[in-house]
Amino acid sequence: MLFHRQLILLILLTSVSSFASAGWVPNLESSSGQSWSSPADSYRINIDASVPDSRLQNFSLEVDNIDVTPTVELIDNSAVFKPPQPLASGLHSFRLVEYTEDGSILELGYWEIEIRSSSLYREADANIQANLSVYGINDDLPEEQSQNGVVGDGSAIVEGIISDEAWAIAANAQFLFNSEAFEPTSSKKLELGEYIVSGEAGVFRADLGNQSVGPESLVMQNFRRRGLSALVDLASVNSRITGFALSSQEAAGINGATGLDDSDNLIHGLLIETQPFTENPEHLYLAVEYIAGKGSTAGISTGDAAQASEGDTVGIIADSSLFSNQLRIRAEYADATTDFDGSGALPETSDNAHHLLINYSPNQLAVASINLNLGIENKKVGTFYNSLANPGLPSDKELIRTYVNTTWKEVSLDLSYANEEDNVSDLNTIPTIKSDVTDIGLSYSPNWDISLLGRSSYSVIYSRVRSREIDRGTAVAADPTNNMAAAITLTANFSYTLWEWQAIYGSGNNEDFTDVQIDTELNFAELVFSFPIGSRVSLTPSARREITKQTDDLFVETENTLFNLGLNAMIIQDALNASLNASLNQEETSNDSTDIDNTSVTLQAVWNAVLPRGNIPAMDVVLSANYNEKEDKVDPTQDIKFYQVFLGLTVAYQ
């Protein structure tokens, strides 16, 4: 019994000794002493004076679940942590733990600290990348063409962001400088290039500047313009609504910076997008687009001259990926109403367009090394269909195309056949032309290791377009269309340990079966080599021979021979580099009407005078010179010979 009492007493004494500081509660304070911390703050945790050193050895501090104990200092009964790098904006976790002798982990304290740049905003950052080049020019060009003097150009990209928990504003802008101004488009020497200012707050987002809105479609395609857009993101139903106003013309410069100041070249629109299947959003994407406004167009109803037009377009898109993205089906329809002259003098026209694409890419085949992709598409664009946000879309066309893309081991094959027909409205006053387009691509990249051939690859590309008139129309006086164009190109690449070379051969012909246009035939061959000379010099010589023949009765043969030599040299590592490019182009016709030699030599040397470090910008001194000579052996009065020398300084800051 006495033994048990002594044992209990010993345990109690040990417990009291080990936890003499049981009333101690560690606190974390930042050096700024505020409810939030700045990125460069240090942090202090109070340590009770009664905690023995033997116990301190078992303490550990974690920041964002990373052990930072080796960087902690014990100063005046406090553990002080100074982050080696400023902490990023946002919430960070601090955790003080003790590893006990029995292997347990005791959490002594846990804190979440918000890192902010200010009480008004959480984060603010800015960055600038700029370069400026100043050149002195000397040449012997005629006075009206001479550029003798000092000129300069440069550019800068300025970026900035300011944000808080619930909102953010970001900006990116490009500025361009030219001492000679940006004639003829602008008389200013400093101009604004592309820019974008974006703001987000909760489910809302707004963008001002150069932007593309919505997916590529019959309504809008390759339509990157200046303007304003506002988006509401309804994440709970996987939907987005975007309203926008964009310039119908490509804009640049400070004038008209918003893209909204010219009402005669302005498009307003609305885009509604949704993916109704939350768990598998790729199963269906739906979009409805609407645009209306004014702009310029060059449609078939107004001739080739661009003139003002006004109209609206509405479109709907359904895009579905099924069976683990093996099958894709995309359907689209659009309807447009356009006043092509914008004045009402011509009646409004309405027309539509549709596009259907079915693509199948099986994930597994009987032969595992085969990848297969095949599809079919149909696109029909009405004779008078015109969308102001898709100015590059050819109207009056119907296309049916099938394609197959496959790879098997080292072989890849691409096949495509298309049938295209115009006059889709069956107007009896214009002809109907049908075209068959065939494209074939075959490439082979063997894995063999043959010293003579090195690492090689081979490719064949063939294309053929056959066009013919299938209906004359009643008001056509021109000759009927009946022609064919075909071309084939063979390429072989050979790569070795130190050098490589390429051989190309091509042949093509254009044949007019009505004998109105001159039939032509083109054949060319080209060799390109690239190899080093030592460790600091590389040489790239090439030669090309091209023969164009007129194969009708008026037989004329034109021969072009081009020799080119490129040389790059690192004279002093990280300090001085030089390059040389020399070319000779000889053109001669069989009827002696042309016999011209064009010679060009360009030399450039770049001295990296100051390498970038910290806030010190890079500085390069650039010397370049070119010599050009044209010798016309048929008409010597057309001879030209001149040189230009440029000496400049380029400063780049980032």
How many CB atoms neighbour CB 575 within 10 A?
Answer: 12
Residue 350, CB half-sphere, CA atoms under 13 Å: how many? 4
Average pLDDT in the 94-117 region?
A: 91
Provide the domain limits for residue 391. Answer: 203-395
How many domains does one find in the chain?
A: 2
Same structural domain for residues 281 and 390? Answer: yes
Question: Does residue 11 carry a pLDDT above 70?
Answer: no
d(CA 174, CA 381): 37
Average pLDDT, the chain: 88
594 inside domain? no
576 within a domain of the structure (yes/no):
no
Q: How far apart are the C-alpha atoms of 29 and 42, rounded to whole Å?
A: 9
CA distance 497 to 530: 12
**Least confident window among 27-36, 231-240, 282-291, 440-449:** 27-36
CA distances from 261 to 256, 258, 294 (A): 6, 7, 13
Read off the pLDDT band of 22 (50, 70, 90).
low
Are residues 245 and 385 located together in one domain of the fold? yes
- pLDDT surpassing 60 at residue 349: yes
Radius of gyration for the chain, computed over Cα atoms and rounded to the nearest angstrom: 36
Q: Quick check: is 151 in a domain?
A: no
DSSP 348: P
In the sheet that holds 59-63, the strands lie side by side as 66-67, 59-63, 90-99, 105-115
Strand-strand pairing, 397-408 and 411-422: antiparallel
Same domain, 111 and 208: no
User: Who has greater pLDDT, 489 or 470?
Assistant: 489
Alpha-carbon separation of residue 148 from 135, 386, 604, 640, 643 (angstroms): 10, 48, 18, 18, 12
**Of 51-55, 184-188, 313-317, which range is least confident?**
184-188
Residue type, 14: T
For residue 493, how many C-alpha atoms fall within 13 Å in the half-sphere facing its CB? 11
For 54, the 3-state DSSP assignment is: helix
Domain shared by 215 and 92, yes or no: no
- At position 169, the amino acid (one-letter code) is I
Task: Reply yes or no on whether the pLDDT at 156 is more than 90.
Answer: yes
Task: Work out the angle at residue 152's Cα, subtended by the Cα atoms of residues 149 and 157, and round it to the nearest 5 degrees.
Answer: 175
Residue 184, exposed/middle/buried by CB under 10 A (0-12, 13-18, 19+)?
Answer: exposed
Three-state SS sequence of 452-516: CCEEEEEEEEEEEEEEEEEECCCCCCCCCCEEEEEEEEEEEEEECCCCEEEEEEEEEEEEECCCC
Question: Is residue 261 a part of any domain in this protein?
Answer: yes
Compute the distance between CA of residue 23 and CA of residue 14 in angstroms, rounded to an integer.
17
Mean pLDDT of 357-365: 87
Cα-based angle 462, 463, 464 (whole degrees, multiple of 5)? 130
Count other C-beta atoms under 10 Å from residue 231's C-beta: 18
Domain end point (choices 98, 115, 132): 115
Query: How many H helices and E strands in the chain?
Result: 2, 34
Name, in order, each residue with C-beta under 8 angstroms of 454's C-beta and a sequence gap of 6 or more. Answer: 494, 495, 496, 497, 500
For residue range 582-597, list pLDDT tens digits in order.
Answer: 999 999 999 889 999 9
User: Does position 344 have pLDDT exceeding 70, yes or no?
Assistant: no
DSSP per residue over 179-220, as a string?
TT--TTT-S-SEEEEEEEEEEEETTEEEEEEEEE-S-S-SS-
The pLDDT of 355-373, averaged and rounded, is 84
pLDDT of residue 14: 38
Same domain, 222 and 326: yes
Query: Is the previous residue joined to 184 through a cis bond, with omega within 30 degrees of 0?
Result: yes
pLDDT surpassing 90 at residue 226: yes
pLDDT digits (tens, 9 = 90+) for 609-643: 998 888 889 999 999 999 999 999 999 999 999 99
Sequence-distant (≥ 6) Cβ neighbours of residue 497 within 8 angstroms: 454
**Span 442-473, pLDDT tens digits:** 999 998 767 677 889 999 999 999 999 988 87
In a domain, 68, yes or no: yes
Which is it for strands 411-422 and 432-444: parallel, antiparallel or unpaired? Answer: antiparallel
Is residue 650 scored above 90 in pLDDT? yes
Percentage of residues in the chain having pLDDT higher than 90: 63
Q: Are residues 248 and 382 in the same domain?
A: yes
| Same-domain check for residues 96 and 226 | no
Could you give the CA distance from residue 88 to residue 402 in angstroms, rounded to a whole number? 52
Same domain, 347 and 212: yes
Tokens of 579: 């390059």
Nearest to 571 by CA among 608, 522, 520: 608
Cα(296)–Cα(310) distance, integer angstroms: 8
pLDDT tier at 184, thresholds 50, 70, 90 = low
Structure tokens at 235: 């994440």
**Domain holding 49: CATH number?**
2.60.40.10
Q: Where do runs of H (alpha helix) occur along 341-480?
A: none
Domain boundary at 61, 94, 115, which?
A: 115
Give me the mean pLDDT over the 264-287 stretch. 95
For residue 1, the tally of other CB atoms under 10 A from its CB is 5
Q: Based on the domain organization, do 217 and 109 belong to the same domain?
A: no
Are the CB atoms for 188 and 175 separated by under 8 Å? no
Q: Are residues 94 and 220 in the same domain?
A: no
Work out the pLDDT band at 81, boundaries 50, 70, 90: very high
Please indicate, yes or no, whether residues 361 and 243 belong to a single structural domain of this protein: yes
Consecutive H or E run containing 11: helix 2-18
Residue 546 included in any domain: no
Identify whether residues 106 and 210 lie together within a single domain. Answer: no
Which pair of tokens denotes residue 633? 């052996």
**pLDDT, tens digit (0-9, with 9 covering 90-100), for 383-425:** 999 999 998 899 999 999 999 999 988 999 999 999 999 998 8
Taking the C-alpha atoms of residue 241 and residue 216, their distance in angstroms, rounded to an integer, is 17
User: Does the pLDDT of residue 73 top 60, yes or no?
Assistant: yes
Alpha helix segments (H runs only) across 544-603: none
Distance in angstroms (rounded) separating the CA atoms of residues 139 and 624: 12
By DSSP bridging, strand 72-75 and strand 455-471 are unpaired
**519 close to 509: Cβ distance less than 8 angstroms:** yes
Q: How far apart are CA 284 and CA 570, in angstroms?
A: 56
Looking at the domain assignment, is residue 66 inside a domain?
yes
pLDDT band at 342 (very low <50, low <70, confident <90, very high): low
Using the 3D structure, point to which of 345, 365, 395 is the last residue of a domain.
395
Question: pTM for the full model?
Answer: 0.79
Per-residue burial over 499-511, b if 16 or more Cβ lie within 10 Å, else e, is ebbbebebebbbb
